[in-house]
Amino acid sequence: MRESEEHFPPARACDGGELPYLGERLSLAVRVEPSRSRAHVARRGSELRVKLGPDTPLQEALEAWYRRRARVEVAPRLDAAVTRAGRSYTRLQIRGQRTRWASCSTTGAMSFNWRLLLAPAEILDYVVEHEVAHLDVQDHSPRFWRLLASRCAEWREREAWLRRHGHLLRLCPAEEAHGEE
């Protein structure tokens, strides 16, 4: 795990911390405003500016922002992938599953984990292609992996990256990021 953290530093969700976003590192500027009732999160270049009310948890505000951004990032990738595959999907959901990065139902409903935005962009692209391949082959048979390889030649490397670093794709308080759990 330490080696993984050296190559892919975990999120530090605190004022002055850093958060990963599709391969970039965003610096975090947090301000508490006593009169504010709702959180406001806005990206300005490589900075993520957060304004919180006195009772608003930073974690919740950041997760809500990532969830909104996940729809913006996933939808065009998914649309492009299904167009290339000559397929279609019925629905897109953004969720916070604990054990899955994404899923594709037999009805074509797609579900993606917002935490994928904490990974490099090529990992999100791989997961999208993986799920689109499930529109043709629902299982993980050799036929599925051949189809996926025809659409994403680097699938083995991307899958290995997720196994190696997936545990770090989370927002955590600053003290957890430093291993002081």
Q: What is the DSSP string of 61-91?
A: HHHHHHHHHHHHHHHHHHHHHHHHHT---SE
| Per-residue confidence (pLDDT) for residue 5, from 0 to 100 | 59
Structure confidence at residue 177 (pLDDT): 38
Q: What's the DSSP call for residue 8?
A: S
Residue 59 structural domain: 2-177
Identity of residue 138: Q
155: helix, strand or coil: helix
What is the amino acid identity at position 4?
A: S
Q: What is the pLDDT of residues 34-79, one digit of tens each?
A: 999 999 999 999 999 999 999 899 999 999 999 999 999 999 999 9
Give the Cα separation of 31 and 50 in Å (integer). 6
Give pLDDT < 70 ranges for the chain.
1-7, 173-181
Pairing of strands 24-32, 18-21: antiparallel
Number of domains in the chain: 1
* CATH code of the domain covering residue 46: 3.30.2010.10
